[in-house]
Amino acid sequence: MSDRLILITGASRGLGAALAAELAGPGAHIVAVARTVGGLEETDDKVRAKGCSATLAPMDLTEEDKLRQLCRAIYDRWGRVDLLVHAAIHAPPLSPAPHIDPKVWARTLAVNLTATERLIALVEPLLRAAPAGRAAFFDDPRAGQKFFGAYGASKAAQIALARSWQAETVRTGPAVSILAPRPMATALRARFFPGEDRGALALPAAEAARLAPQLATD
């Protein structure tokens, strides 16, 4: 994990924050992206406790100008990204398909799909500049489940986009991984399943430890 520039979205909580802590180590540098400043600061404490440096980037991924500025700053300072971990996700309220609020629909697509497309376009040159650049996405197959219309459609579209990029870069790189986390005790899942027995769910830290070996770039 040494000498790696790791860009993680959704790094303020859940799997994104857990992976930031898991992937941290001497010689690595974590660029942590999320909207929640307090959560990012907690992630920063965990990363630095492991002897790893970090840069916090509080921002909304739907603001393309800020995303461009971030990628430009990464290029100017490091010239590359070794690993992109795209864990940011928007969890809209569950709703019957005919009753999805138009504003909810627009926000869900903006975060889960459009921002992902922009992120791929802007980070790909940085990944190509690395010796063995890799990007990781996380599947959550809810498409077709009742009341998951907005989330399921946007997440399925996001993963379809990632799979296309994965197929396109098999020979040229960067490598693209699509991982399947186990059900976790996260705030996102609690929004969808508020009465669920959380004791039966995996902890984000445990899932991060399980998934991290699949994110090696060498």
Residue 2, pLDDT score: 47
Residue 70, pLDDT score: 98
What's the longest Cα–Cα distance across the chain? 51
- The band of 188, judged by pLDDT with boundaries at 50, 70 and 90, is confident
Residue 82 is given by DSSP the state: S
Q: 182-189 long-range contacts, Cβ below 8 Å, gap at least 24?
A: 182/207, 182/210, 184/14, 184/15, 186/13, 186/14, 186/15, 187/13, 187/14, 188/14, 188/89, 188/91
Distances (CA, A) of 161 to 23, 120, 184: 25, 9, 24
Q: What is the spatial distance between Cα 122 and Cα 57, in angstroms, rounded to a whole number?
A: 16
pLDDT at 1 over 80: no
Residue 30 near residue 55 (C-beta atoms within 8 A)? yes
Average pLDDT over the chain, rounded to an integer: 95
Q: What is the spatial distance between Cα 169 and Cα 176, in angstroms, rounded to a whole number?
A: 8
Taking the domain 5-209, which CATH number applies? 3.40.50.720
Please work out, in degrees rounded to the nearest 5, the angle formed at the alpha carbon of residue 34 by the alpha carbons of 92 and 110.
40
pLDDT in tens, 38-89: 999 999 999 999 989 999 999 999 999 999 999 999 999 999 999 999 999 9
pLDDT at 216 over 80: no
Residue 107 near residue 89 (C-beta atoms within 8 A)? no
pLDDT in tens, 103-157: 999 999 999 999 999 999 999 999 999 999 999 999 999 999 999 999 999 999 9
User: Which of the residue ranges 24-28, 195-199, 213-217 would you say has the lowest mean pLDDT?
Assistant: 213-217
Residue 26, pLDDT score: 85
Residue 59 near residue 67 (C-beta atoms within 8 A)? yes
Average pLDDT value for residue range 5-9 = 98
Residue 217, pLDDT score: 55
pLDDT in tens, 161-175: 999 999 999 999 999
How many other CB atoms sit within 10 Å of the CB of residue 7? 27
Q: What is the spatial distance between Cα 165 and Cα 146, in angstroms, rounded to a whole number?
A: 29
